[in-house]
Structure 1
C-alpha cells in the first residue's frame, strides 16, 4: 500500500522524466492492450526471490502494461530491469511498468497518489486507495450499521472522486488496489457470503456513475457464481475469525465504443505466488 520514470528524449510538462529500464521489445498488435493490476506485497520483499517471481508472473500473464502497488525501495526499477521494460519512478506507492513506450506521463498527489501513462492513445492509471477502516471488517467483525459503514468509507470515496476528476473525459483504464469491495459484488444474491449485508460501496459506485465499467464484472457478470476474489490467497483468518474474501483489485475503463474488454480473469495463487493479493488481467480492443 505505497510511488518514480524514464523514455529516452521525451520531456514532459509535469517535470517528470521518462526512462527506459531496458531495450524496448516489439509492440503487441496495434488494436489490443492487455492490462494487469498487481499488489507486489511491499515490492516482493515478503517472499523469497520476490522480484524474479513477480517478473515471471507478469511474463506468464501476457501483460503489455502493469499497474503496480506497494513499492519498496527500488522494486519497480528491478522488476522493469528483469523484464527489459519501461517504468515510471514515482518514489511513492504506485508505479507502472510497460513493454510498450509511454506517449505521455503524469502524476498527482490526489487519490492518495496516482500515476498515469499514455499508451496507444489511452491513459492508464495506477491507484491505491486508503487501507484504513476496511469496510468488510465493519460488516463482518463489528456488525456496524450501514450508516457507520458508509461514514467509514468517506476517505476512499473522496480519493475516488479526486482520481475521477483528474482523469477527466479522456479514454482511460484505471487499475489498482481499491481496498474496498465493489458495489457490483455485495448484492442481494451474495449477501449470504457477505455477512448478510448489501452494500453500495461508494468508491466503486462513483466510477460506475461516471460511466466506467468494471472489466472483470463485464466479462463475468454473475457475482454469485464467479466472485473473482483477489483478497486474499494468503490471509484466511483474522484473530481466529474467517478473513472476509473479496474482489478489491479492479480494472475499470471508459472510452466509448472504441475501448472494449474482451477477456478478464484473476491471476496467481499457489506456493510460489509472490503476493498476498491475486492479480487481475484484462485484455482490451482499442
Structure 2
C-alpha cells in the first residue's frame, strides 16, 4: 500500500535512553499558557519544493511555542529548530521529535514510538502509531466486518496502551499521528460520512480510558459541524482502490490530562495552500497551566 511510506516501528516498545536534547533558550512567554502543535512533516519536508523552509514558515506563522513532529529525523529536526531560532529540541533518532521555543527541562523516549520533553513543568509527547491496516480503508473500501476492523486495530491499541502506561499520572500532553480516527467522530450522527459505519476506534478509546481528554473535540464538540479532518489535504482520491474518493478523517490529535491543564482553544491548521508542506493538516491547541 503506498498511501504513504513511513519507517517501520520497532517491534520492542521498551524504554530507551537514546534521546538527547539541545538546550536552553531564554525566550520570554506567558508562564500560564502553552501552545502546542502536532505536525507530520511528510518525510521531513522532502515531498514539496523547499520543504524545510516552507515548514519553518508555517510554524512561525502559526504562533505556536512547541511542535511535536512526526516523520522527521535528527538532521531535519535540528534544521527546522535552528531556522526558527529555537535552541531547544530533542534528537530521538527515530521519526518523532519535539522542538520548542521554551526551555526543555528533561527528555525521555519509548523506543521508536514516542519521545517526551518536559516544558514549563508539563511532559509533552510526540507519538506516531503504526500505519498498516488503515481502518477507514477497511470500512470504506474493503467493506470489512466490525470484527475484522477491530482485529486489524490491535497493534495501534497495544501501542496506545503502552504509551498511557509509560506516561503515568503526571500532567502531560500527547500529540501526534495516530493513523486512526476517533471513536468520538465515527458516531451515529456522522455515519453517512463514514461509509455507514459506527466504530469505537480502539486507539483513541485507550487514551480516553487512560484519562486523556481530546483537546480538539472538547473545544469543538459537534463532530458533524466540526469534523477537524487532518488526512488528507493532498489526497482527494486513492489510486490503490481505483481512484475512489480518499476517506477524509481526523487522525492527528493533541490529548492531555493531569494537574490544572485545560484546553482553551484548538483548531486544525494549514492545508489550504498548494505548497503546504505536509500531506496532513496540523492541529494546534492552547492550554492554560
Partner residue in 2 for 1:137: 137
Measured at CA, do residues 15 and 228 of structure 1 come closer, stay the same or move farther in structure 2, by a change above 3 Å?
closer
Match of residue 246, structure 1, among 244, 249, 252: 249
In the alignment, which residue of structure 2 is the partner of 1:102?
104
- Unaligned residue ranges in structure 1 (runs of 5+): 4-12
Q: What is the distance in 1 between the residues matched to 2:212 and 2:17?
A: 26
CA contact (8 A) 1:171 1:254 kept: yes
Is 2:131–2:179's contact at 8 Å kept on the other side of the alignment? yes
Give 1:5-84 correspondences, 5 Å limit.
Answer: 14=17, 16-20=19-23, 24=25, 26-72=27-73, 74-84=75-85
* CA apart distance, 1:266: 0.4
- Aligned pairs (5 A) from 1:139-158: 139-158=139-158
Quote the offset at 1:250 in angstroms. Answer: 0.2
Instruction: Tell me, in whole angstroms, the C-alpha distance in 1 between the residues paired with 2:28 and 2:143.
Output: 50
Shift of 1:16: 4.4
Match of 1:10 in 2: none
Deviation for aligned residue 1:24: 2.2
Work out whether residues 265 and 281 of structure 1, in 8 Å CA contact, stay in contact via their aligned partners in 2: yes
- Contact 2:264–2:285, Cα closer than 8 Å, also in 1: yes
Q: Aligned to 1:33, what secondary structure does the other structure show?
A: strand
- Residue-by-residue CA offset, 1:126-156 (whole Å, 9 max, x unaligned): 0000000000000000000000000000000
TM-score, scaled relative to structure 2:
0.91
1:87 to 84, 89, 96: 89
**CA displacement at 1:72 relative to structure 2:** 4.5
Task: Let me know the Cα RMSD of the aligned residues.
Answer: 1.6
Q: CA deviation digits over 1:196-253, x for unaligned, max 9?
A: 0000000000111121100000000000011000000001101210000000000000
Distance in 1 (CA, whole Å) between partners of 2:144 and 2:28 is 50
Question: Residues of 2 paired with 1:73 and 1:42: CA distance?
Answer: 12
Q: How far, CA to CA, are the matches of 2:96 and 2:282 in structure 1?
A: 15
Q: Distance in 2 between matches of 1:223 and 1:77?
A: 37
Task: Please say if 1:211 is aligned against 2:211.
Answer: yes
Residue deviations 1:73-100 (CA, integer Å, cap 9, x gap): 6111110110121111112110000001
The normalised TM-score by structure 1 is: 0.92
1:277 to 276, 280, 283: 280
Q: Is the 8 A contact 1:88 1:96 kept in 2?
A: yes
- Compute the displacement of 1:28 (Å): 1.2
CA distance in 1, matches of 2:113, 2:199: 26
Contact 1:251 1:280 in 2 (8 A): yes
CA distance in 2, matches of 1:114, 1:16: 10
CA contact (8 A) 1:24 1:84 kept: no
Given that residues 74 and 91 in structure 2 are in contact (C-alpha distance below 8 angstroms), is that contact kept between their aligned partners in structure 1? no
Which SS does the other structure have where 2:189 is aligned? Answer: coil
Deviations 1:42-80 (A, max 9, x none): 000001111111111111111110000001461111101
SS at match of 1:216: helix
TM-fit CA distance, 1:25: 5.0
User: Cα distance 1:100–1:39, how it changes in 2: closer, same or farther (>3 A)?
Assistant: same
Structure 2 residue runs without a partner (length 5+): 1-5, 9-15
Contact 1:2 1:69 (C-alpha < 8 Å) held by counterparts? no
